Amino acid sequence: MRALKAAWLLLVVFTLGGCWDRMEINDLAFVTGTAMDVQEDGSLFCTLQIAIPGSKEGTGGGGKGDSGSFYLVSATGNSGNEIHRALQKKSSRQLFYSHRSVVFISERLARQGINKALLDVFTHDPRNRLKTYIMIVKGGDARQILELNYPLKQVPLEVVNEMQRTGDEVAVTLRDFFIASQSEGIQPVVGVLELGDHLADKKEQIFKAEGTGILKDLKLIGLLDEKETLSLMWLTNKLKFGRISAQLPEDYGEIGVMLNHTTSKIVTHTDNNGIRFNVTLEGTGTVEENNSTLDVSNSAQMTMIKQAMENSMRMQAEQLLVKLQKKYKADSVGFGQEVYKSNPGKWKTIKKEWDTQFQNARITVDVNLTVNGAGMVHSTLQHE
């Protein structure tokens, strides 16, 4: 009986004693952003943005680079683990990555290849969350994004909020990237940022979204501009909102439409003559800008506007597909994945030859738009 009571007492003590390996918040250094660059000798240069303890802005409220809300630490190495050890030695607190929002990678490093050693750290280390965004910095070093004095909010968090709000820019998480890189018949893409203009205070600088990075075999091989990015997002069924415009026939002028709902459907046809794809893009939008002589309240003229918008978007999508097929030779839309889903047996026979098959695949695009209303005015002010 005494032995039983002693056992119960020990159980209570251990239960109430807390977690033996618990890490106190005062012992943690909260990493909010990471930048990866490559040096002349090929080694990696990693910079961490760390929230300063006690700062109200440090973990999400915002603040300027010189306001004391965060600080930067950097280290070099040839692998992710080597760099992490070097960074940890520079911090008196345990580096904690669960609050990190973005990993920035320089264009130069991305073109050399997002090597396996780097990616393994982000996939196998449980301290990293897969909801972290990954973005390429066009031009200079990735660490410049973390170093700049941004006038609104702490940079990584501002990037995430902006990507989530707009719905017309490529926003790829580590999870999305790893899934695409390991999936059948598709190459991953990554959002691109570029440093923008200096403000009145020369120490303050902004950044801007600059399209999409096209990758093949984990190497950056090309960049898409704003219009090409919109087409890519529509083709991949990821476009939430988007502004499109078209020149009307017979020199009537230009019309702008705000898309608020889009869908994409890819139908695969396989036969003895090869593989064909038919892509149907559908969307709903509102006339947002009328720089034409047409009256958008007139049903016949609205039909003309609708057809012009559809033709413009079809040509835009077709031009992007030709670029992916002939210039970059990268299936960033996932046509191979559609073959894999619809006909796994066929995919098994062409998988090793898909690079060549994709370049020669016949792809047709149909666009169906529904244009509702005319915004705040029914026609151009020239009619008033």
pLDDT at 255 over 70: yes
> For 38-47, 62-71, 204-213, 345-354, which range has the lowest pLDDT when averaged over its residues?
62-71
> For 145-154, 348-357, 372-381, which range has the lowest pLDDT when averaged over its residues?
372-381
Distance between CA atoms of residues 8 and 26, nearest Å: 34
pLDDT at residue 198, rounded to an integer: 59
pLDDT at residue 98, rounded to an integer: 85
- How many Cα neighbours within 13 Å face the side chain of 140? 10
* Continuous H helices in 149-249: 155-166, 174-182, 226-235
Tell the residue number behind the tokens 């012992």, with chain if given: 27
Phi-psi domain of 290 (left: phi exceeds 0; alpha: psi -120 through 50; beta: other): beta
Structural domains in the chain plus CATH codes = 23-224 (no CATH), 225-384 (3.30.300.210)
- For the chain, give the mean pLDDT: 82
Chain segment 310-337, per-residue pLDDT in tens: 999 999 999 999 999 999 999 999 999 9
pLDDT at residue 157, rounded to an integer: 63
Check if the beta carbon of residue 29 is closer than 8 Å to that of residue 49: no
pLDDT at residue 363, rounded to an integer: 97
Q: Give the mean model confidence (pLDDT) for residues 162-191.
A: 86
Distance between CA atoms of residues 61 and 70, nearest Å: 12
pLDDT classification of 99: cutoffs 50, 70, 90: confident
pLDDT at 381 over 80: no
Distance between CA atoms of residues 123 and 242, nearest Å: 33
pLDDT at 350 over 80: yes
Higher pLDDT, 267 or 156: 267
Q: Token pair for residue 7? A: 């056992």
pTM (2 decimals)?
0.84
pLDDT at 58 over 50: no
pLDDT at residue 254, rounded to an integer: 87
Distance between CA atoms of residues 138 and 134, nearest Å: 13
Q: Give the mean model confidence (pLDDT) for residues 152-157.
A: 60
Q: Token pair for residue 322? A: 């030709």
Distance between CA atoms of residues 134 and 102, nearest Å: 6
Q: What are the counts of helices (DSSP H) followed by strands (DSSP E) for the chain?
A: 12, 13
How many percent of the chain have pLDDT more than 70?
77
Check if the beta carbon of residue 35 is closer than 8 Å to that of residue 104: yes
> For 75-84, 280-289, 345-354, which range has the lowest pLDDT when averaged over its residues?
75-84
pLDDT at 373 over 80: no
pLDDT at residue 36, rounded to an integer: 92
Check if the beta carbon of residue 191 is closer than 8 Å to that of residue 209: yes
pLDDT at residue 70, rounded to an integer: 83
> For 136-150, 224-238, 275-289, 333-347, which range has the lowest pLDDT when averaged over its residues?
136-150
> For 26-30, 60-64, 97-101, 130-134, which range has the lowest pLDDT when averaged over its residues?
60-64
pLDDT at 1 over 50: yes
The Cα-based distances of 103 to 49, 173, 221 in angstroms read 10, 9, 19
Higher pLDDT, 256 or 327: 327
pLDDT at 180 over 60: yes
Q: Give the mean model confidence (pLDDT) for residues 25-52.
A: 89
